Chains A and B, each alone.
Chain A
Amino acid sequence: MLQTRANVRLKKRKKTFQKEDVALYLMALPTIIYLLIFCYVPMGGLIMAFQDLNITKGIFKSPFVGWKNFEFLFSTTDAWVITRNTVCYNLVFIVINLFISISLALMLSSLRSGRYAKTVQTVYMMPYFLSYAVVAIVVNAFLHRDNGLVNSILRLMGEPGKTNWYHQARIWPPLLVFVNAWKNVGYQTVLYLAVISSISVDYYEAAVLDGATKFQQACYITIPHLRYIVGISLILSMSSIFRGDFGLFYNVPMNSGKIYPVTDVIDTYIYRALTYLNNVGMSTAAGLYQSVVGFILVLIVNKIVNKIDPDSAMF
């Protein structure tokens, strides 16, 4: 993403300082200051992972304890559970959302009525603009123990209908996958649809002349054209595979303790270690673990992509 060919060529010509460049430094200055304070200073703050931090003493006076915070983090099964949850959920999200959104985009693009397709895609994109605070309330309207729609329907069917769904671990993995798809599939569909509609009509005309069916056209023209955009989105999502969507995993299950084994991800764990346990050292250690492993994953993914298709690589 960073290096264009023109850039490489220009590198050979020596860049010298020019008087008018002062304006450029001035224009960049606000953002540089922002980046230093709000991005790079916190990176330095990761040193707290090796401290027994006392908030009142601050970073500069708290004692160092070596790897103790990490030992504490990895001594329980927590570290394994949150890592497994984060990575597995993200992998499932990527596959399921990709499958559904491409199917929907293919169907939408082949409809006879363009107006219907347009209306439907507007509807699909709607949940993308809702916050997880709202989504949590929507889910709660279904799962609430006393008033929820699910228990009401169960009662109508003669069941007791008194289940507290926020204590039932088994329903949450599929439910979270569903909620994530509900919220995000729409915008992916619209993205793929935009790419499909930019494919030149000539390909389809030629295919029709050769007697290709609609299905063959989808397989041999449309889907190959989506390869590039799918590649880019895969790279982006693979590189954030170590980050859990906080709103989804904290808000939607209402932070219910009984189901942590299936809903806890690295981000919610860090948040709770910070706010409930007040264990700054250990939560920073978990954050450092997340950042470092995430960073290594980005490098690996980028390296692999560079081998297969250098044009799609990030850097």
Chain B
Amino acid sequence: MAKEVKKVNKLTLLSKGWNAVFVIILFLMALLVVIPMVLILIVSLSSELSIANNGYTFFPSEWTLDGYRYLFKTGDQLADSYLVTIFYSITGTLMSLTFMTMFAYVIAQKNFKHGRLFTWLLFFTMLFSGGLVPSYILNVRYLHINNSIWIFLLPSLVNAYYTVILRTFIRTTIPDTLFEAARIDGAGHFRIFVSIVLPLFKTGIATVGLFNMVARWNDWFTGMLYIQNPKLVPLQTLLTKLQNTIDFLKQNAAIAGTPDGIALLRSLPDENMRMACTIIVILPILFAYPFFQRYFVQGLTMGSIKG
């Protein structure tokens, strides 16, 4: 990709003036992206006193690692949440990939009698859905999977959009003749799937898997709606809860001014600790994604292939 851009540039180099203008505009835009995150990082490293005096600022009067220290000392909840999130992100992604690739293989078959029916069964769920409330009633009242690990795994098993993309990918990347040859050799569908499609299809699966895993890692809604057990609260939900409880208690304690309220406030996580928590939640993704960027870009373009 970069090579081609360079080649074009050699032919028609942008004038130095315009190049400088573009470089500056693009740099300012990059700053706009980075600065808010830098602010969070700096607040997580500011002392409570500095925050009380100057608010959140890029130039705290006192730097400290206290936020992180408290977090690790009192962070049982954080550890639980980390474990739960890692567990269901990985397990859920593996389950999803198994379901989705098998189904994609089936609907990629051109001679399968019920192929069209199955495709429509999947595709229709992209166009029309029961929405939040019926799913909620189903999960809570009839399946009883709320407040358990299953709520993170089952309702999000199959993503119709990515399954359609996987199907298109199987059709366009794996030639029909390969299937024919395998069949003449006496291989059944399951055998073809495991020993031909999966190996040829590694990047496609990795791409969908990565998107799936990021979506699971970032999901705060499921936890907020269905989970009460503190051992099962995911990281992102923990962040939201932390924020809301602090604001709520602060307002009420300030109004009531009771000793109890003030004591409760003291025991709450400090401002810098909350920001430290945020940093620790986003760190894995920020570190991992530049390495996987190739897959993400590929995933984006995958969506635009038609089959």
Chain A contact residues, CB within 8 Å of chain B: 1-2, 4, 6-7, 10, 15-17, 20-21, 23-28, 30-32, 34-35, 37-46, 48, 53, 55, 58-59, 104, 107-118, 120, 122-127, 129-134, 136-142, 144, 146-149, 151-152, 182, 186-187, 190-191, 194-195, 197-198, 201, 204-205, 207-208, 214, 217, 228-229, 232-233, 239, 246-247, 251, 254, 267, 270-271, 274-275, 280, 283-284, 287-288, 290-291, 294-295, 298, 311, 315
Cβ–Cβ contact B30 & A120, under 8 A: yes
List the A residue with the shortest CB-CB distance to B241: A133
> Could you name 19 residue pairs across A and B whose Cβ atoms are closer than 8 Å?
A2-B119, A4-B171, A10-B111, A25-B114, A31-B157, A42-B131, A44-B130, A110-B14, A111-B19, A131-B220, A133-B240, A136-B243, A141-B39, A152-B54, A191-B297, A204-B8, A217-B12, A288-B131, A291-B130
8 closest pairs, A vs B, by CB? A45-B134, A42-B130, A287-B131, A131-B218, A42-B134, A23-B189, A31-B103, A147-B55
Cβ–Cβ contact A136 & B34, under 8 A: no
Cβ–Cβ contact B129 & A129, under 8 A: no
Judge if B83 is at the interface, Cβ distance under 8 Å.
no
Chain B contact residues, CB within 8 Å of chain A: 1-9, 11-15, 18-19, 22-23, 25-27, 29-30, 32-34, 36-37, 39-40, 43, 51, 54-57, 98-100, 102-103, 105-107, 109-114, 116, 118-123, 125, 127-138, 141-142, 154-155, 157-158, 163-164, 168, 171, 183, 188-190, 193, 214, 217-221, 225, 236-237, 239-240, 243-244, 247, 271, 274-275, 278, 281-282, 285-286, 289-290, 293, 296-297, 300-301, 303-304, 306-307
Q: A188 vs B236: C-alpha distance in the bound complex, in angstroms?
A: 24
Cβ–Cβ contact B100 & A270, under 8 A: no
Q: Which residues of B contact A142 (CB under 8 A)?
A: 36, 39
Cβ–Cβ contact A201 & B8, under 8 A: yes
Cβ–Cβ contact A140 & B243, under 8 A: yes
Cβ–Cβ contact A214 & B138, under 8 A: no
Given A30-B102, A191-B300: A283 and B133 within 8 A (CB)?
A: yes
Cβ–Cβ contact A131 & B141, under 8 A: no
Given A2-B123, A124-B30, A208-B11: A280 and B137 within 8 A (CB)?
A: yes
Q: A249 vs B171: C-alpha distance in the bound complex, in angstroms?
A: 39
Q: Which residues of A contact B1 (CB under 8 A)?
A: 194, 197-198
Cβ–Cβ contact B43 & A48, under 8 A: no
Rounded to whole Å, the gap between the CB of A277 and the closest CB of chain B is 12
Q: Which residues of B contact A45 (CB under 8 A)?
A: 130, 133-135, 137-138
Q: Which residues of A contact B111 (CB under 8 A)?
A: 10, 15
Which one of B119, B164, B219, B300 has the highest number of Cβ atoms from chain A below 10 Å of its Cβ?
B300
Rounded to whole Å, the gap between the CB of B252 and the closest CB of chain A is 15
Q: Which residues of B contact A120 (CB under 8 A)?
A: 26-27, 29-30
Q: A123 vs B31: C-alpha distance in the bound complex, in angstroms?
A: 9
Q: A114 vs B261: C-alpha distance in the bound complex, in angstroms?
A: 57
Q: Which residues of A contact B32 (CB under 8 A)?
A: 182
Cβ–Cβ contact B141 & A58, under 8 A: yes
Q: Which of A111, A190, A197, A284 makes the CB contact (< 8 A) with B133?
A: A284
Cβ–Cβ contact B300 & A194, under 8 A: yes
Known: A31-B158, A186-B33, A254-B247. 10 other contacts (CB 8 A): A10-B111, A15-B113, A110-B22, A112-B9, A129-B289, A149-B56, A191-B297, A191-B300, A229-B304, A311-B306
Q: Which residues of B contact A139 (CB under 8 A)?
A: 36
Cβ–Cβ contact A116 & B110, under 8 A: no
Rounded to whole Å, the gap between the CB of B179 and the closest CB of chain A is 11
Q: A148 vs B301: C-alpha distance in the bound complex, in angstroms?
A: 39
Q: Which residues of A contact B118 (CB under 8 A)?
A: 28, 32
Q: A295 vs B290: C-alpha distance in the bound complex, in angstroms?
A: 37
Cβ–Cβ contact B29 & A287, under 8 A: no
Q: A130 vs B281: C-alpha distance in the bound complex, in angstroms?
A: 10
Given A27-B106, A120-B30, A270-B131: A38 and B112 within 8 A (CB)?
A: no
Rounded to whole Å, the gap between the CB of A23 and the closest CB of chain B is 4
Cβ–Cβ contact A116 & B129, under 8 A: no
Given A137-B243, A142-B36, A194-B1: A204 and B12 within 8 A (CB)?
A: yes
Rounded to whole Å, the gap between the CB of B70 and the closest CB of chain A is 17
